[in-house]
């Protein structure tokens, strides 16, 4: 079954890069609190999940029905809005390369085929939102929502999707590192220990209540052969807290902007501990008084241990124009500066 648009699969040689970037492969604390998965949550997640059909499906006719080919997975949020991975809804042409499809066709769990139109997307985070036309929304079985709390290591999770075009199927597991990075997007990812394959792209990573804690984005491929179809138990998802922000911006028609401080960091040794020092500085950090070689200790009393942690804090917890306190060490003195964050 041809499935050309698939879950990002990272070749074996990138595994070392992922480890260097901070991927913890076995981070499951024994004491993590776990809630039992209810049948209601499983059913709701299954009914809210849709398949993203291959972009050649609109060429079928009653005389030539052809095969139904599912290339990705999506989730119905509410009012006909569907969220999925951007790469699961891309069209590939010789003239334009990969572009986000303006129109897709969806397959519900009870086999209704529905058209949906593009609302907005973010290449920065590999997320896209579509909306089913009002005429067809009653065919969507149910809706779901994003989880309000933080995803934590050890949390029991599951996913519903169309691995290798089959489905909908379910896979169960636990979260590992919730603050890891790959080279495919410019944001942190949640690592989950559960089975996923090509075709699971864009599916929801659900908690015990059937709420979305992430949108499936990538797997790490560990086999040697490069083939179109891949499966793995090393799965990565865009955090729900970030996906929800993209969705809200798209639904309100407002541009999605993130805070910028104007510093680039590098690793230095501070006594016996590795810290992050300012390699380059520009406004607004420079205007606030931060200098090159300052060691960044904290932002708003949140200790900063690496550049990724600072980046996450700015993306997830601040907005452009917000004033934040930044604590640095300059030679032997600890100093605090107030930075009015920029945006972009």
Confidence label for 183 from pLDDT (cuts 50, 70 and 90)? confident
Q: Which two tokens stand for residue 65?
A: 């029905």
Tell me the pLDDT band of 244, cut-offs 50, 70 and 90.
very high
Fold adopted by 8-45+144-252: Thrombin, subunit H (2.40.10)
Confidence of residue 168 (pLDDT cuts 50, 70, 90): very high
Taking residues 303-316, what's their average pLDDT?
86
How confident is the model over 282-298, as a mean pLDDT?
96
Between CA 179 and CA 275 the distance in angstroms is: 18
Confidence of residue 213 (pLDDT cuts 50, 70, 90): very high
| Gap between the Cα atoms of 202 and 128, Å rounded | 9
The more confidently predicted of residues 255 and 242 is 242
Section 251-273 average pLDDT: 87
Q: Taking 90 as the threshold, does the pLDDT of residue 79 lie above it?
A: yes
Min mean pLDDT across 51-55, 92-96, 265-269 is at 92-96
Please check the confidence at residue 49 and state whether its pLDDT lies above 50. yes
Q: pTM value? A: 0.78
Judge residue 148's burial from the number of C-beta atoms within 10 Å of its C-beta, 0-12 exposed, 13-18 middle, 19 or more buried.
exposed
Backbone dihedral region of 333: left (phi > 0), alpha (psi from -120 to 50 degrees) or beta? beta
**CATH, domain 47-139, list 2.40.10.10, 2.40.50.140, 1.10.10.920, 1.20.990.10:** 2.40.10.10
**Mean pLDDT score of the chain, rounded to an integer?**
84
| Domains 47-139 and 259-343 alike in fold | no
Residue boundaries of the structural domains of the chain: 8-45+144-252, 47-139, 259-343
Look at residue 222 in the predicted model and tell me its pLDDT: 60
Q: Read off the tokens for 84.
A: 């999925």
Q: How high is the pLDDT of residue 103?
A: 94
pLDDT per position as a tens digit, 116-162: 999 998 877 899 999 999 999 999 999 999 999 889 999 999 999 99
Q: Quick one: average pLDDT of 177-187? A: 84
Q: What percent of the chain has pLDDT over 70?
A: 83
Helix segments in the chain, DSSP class H: 14-20, 39-48, 240-252, 285-288, 307-317
User: What is the predicted pLDDT for the residue at 173?
Assistant: 95
Q: How far apart are CA 287 and CA 310, in angstroms?
A: 19
The pLDDT, as a whole number, for residue 228 is 56
| pLDDT over threshold 90, residue 63 | no
pLDDT the model gives residue 29:
41
pLDDT of residue 30: 40
Higher pLDDT, 223 or 311: 311
In percent, how much of the chain has pLDDT > 90?
57
3-state helix, strand, coil in the chain (%, to 5): 20, 40, 40
Please state which of the ranges 52-56, 76-80, 153-157, 196-200 shows the lowest mean pLDDT.
52-56
pLDDT class of 61 with cuts at 50, 70, 90: low
Q: Which residue has the higher pLDDT, 68 or 75?
A: 75
Instruction: Give CATH superfamily name and number for 259-343.
Output: PDZ domain (2.30.42.10)
């Amino acid at each position: 079954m041809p499935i050309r648009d698939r879950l990002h699969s990272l070749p074996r040689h990138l595994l070392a890069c992922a480890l260097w970037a901070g991927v913890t492969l076995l981070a499951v604390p024994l004491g993590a609190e776990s809630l039992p998965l209810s049948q209601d949550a499983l059913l709701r997640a299954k009914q809210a999940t849709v398949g993203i059909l291959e972009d050649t499906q609109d060429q079928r006719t009653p005389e030539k029905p052809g095969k139904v080919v599912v290339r990705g997975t999506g989730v119905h949020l509410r009012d006909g809005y569907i969220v999925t991975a951007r790469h699961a809804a891309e069209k590939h042409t010789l003239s334009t390369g990969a572009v986000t499809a303006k129109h897709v066709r969806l397959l519900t769990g009870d086999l209704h085929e529905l058209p949906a139109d593009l609302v907005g997307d973010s290449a920065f985070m590999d997320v896209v939102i579509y909306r089913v036309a009002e005429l067809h929304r009653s065919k969507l079985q149910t809706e779901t929502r994003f989880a309000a709390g933080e995803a934590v290591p050890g949390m029991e999770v599951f996913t519903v999707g169309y691995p290798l075009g089959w489905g909908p199927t379910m896979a169960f597991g636990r979260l590992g590192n919730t603050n890891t990075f790959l080279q495919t997007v410019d944001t942190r990812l949640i690592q989950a220990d559960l089975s996923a394959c090509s075709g699971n792209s864009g599916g929801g990573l659900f908690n015990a209540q059937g709420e979305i804690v992430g949108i499936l984005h990538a797997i790490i491929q560990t086999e040697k052969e490069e083939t179109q179809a891949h499966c793995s138990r090393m799965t990565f998802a865009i955090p729900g807290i970030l996906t929800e922000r993209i969705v809200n911006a798209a639904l309100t028609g407002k541009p999605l902007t993130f805070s910028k401080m104007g510093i680039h960091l590098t690793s230095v040794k501070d006594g016996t501990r590795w810290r992050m020092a300012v390699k380059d500085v520009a406004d607004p950090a420079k205007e606030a008084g931060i200098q090159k070689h300052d060691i960044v200790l904290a932002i708003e009393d949140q200790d900063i241990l690496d550049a990724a942690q600072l980046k996450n804090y700015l993306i997830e917890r601040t907005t452009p124009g917000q004033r934040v306190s930044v604590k640095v060490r300059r030679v032997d003195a600890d100093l605090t500066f107030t930075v009015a964050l920029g945006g972009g």
